[in-house]
């Protein structure tokens, strides 16, 4: 069975297929399990070696998954938490070392987070924060 076939089966979402593909060698297949599975599947994939799989866990998982991945070593995963997480997650990421993570916090954050990021030394972060403040009617 090739990866496309495995991914198609995982997308169908039958538990027996999802369980079978949890440890598949192909990250696309494990990503499909993270997208189509339940929180029990995502509990097993939260520490997956592939950042795309972990990002799918963030997008489709619950707050406990985001809580675990907010400090992920990969900035792409942290950006995904900033986008799909809640204010508490963004509070933890507002000072992230990666400016792209801070841009995402600014773009999805609340007034306090955006206000803090207006003064960021990175021009992309400060522009995103200013845009967000306008969206929120705070300027």
The verdict on pTM exceeding 0.85 is yes
Query: pLDDT per residue over 101-116, tens digit each?
Result: 999 999 999 999 999 9
Q: How do the residues of the chain divide into helix, strand and coil, expressed in percent and rounded to 5?
A: 70, 0, 30
CA distance 139 to 4: 49
**Closest CA relative to residue 57, chosen from 26, 22, 25, 24:** 22
Q: With the CA atoms of 50, 55, 61 and 65 taken in that order, what torsion angle do they form, in degrees rounded to the nearest 10?
A: 70
Query: pLDDT per residue over 31-41, tens digit each?
Result: 999 999 999 99
pLDDT string in tens for the chain (139-residue length): 666 666 666 666 566 778 888 999 999 999 999 999 999 999 999 999 999 999 999 999 999 999 999 999 999 999 999 999 999 999 999 999 999 999 999 999 999 999 999 999 999 999 999 999 999 997 6
CA distance 17 to 94: 39
CA distance 45 to 69: 11
Q: Which residues contact 38 (CB under 8 A, 6 or more apart)?
A: 15, 18
């Amino acid at each position: 069975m090739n990866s496309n076939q495995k991914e198609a089966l995982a997308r169908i979402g039958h538990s027996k297929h999802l369980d079978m593909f949890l440890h598949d060698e192909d990250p696309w297949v494990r990503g499909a399990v993270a997208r189509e599975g339940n929180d029990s599947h995502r509990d097993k994939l939260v520490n997956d070696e592939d950042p795309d799989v972990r990002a799918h866990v963030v997008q489709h998982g619950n707050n406990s998954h985001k809580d675990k991945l907010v400090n992920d070593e990969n900035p792409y995963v942290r950006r995904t938490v900033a986008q799909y997480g809640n204010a508490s997650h963004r509070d933890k990421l507002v000072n992230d070392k990666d400016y792209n993570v801070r841009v995402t916090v600014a773009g999805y954050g609340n007034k306090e987070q955006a206000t803090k990021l207006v003064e960021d030394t990175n021009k992309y972060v400060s522009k995103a924060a200013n845009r967000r403040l306008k969206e929120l009617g705070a300027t």
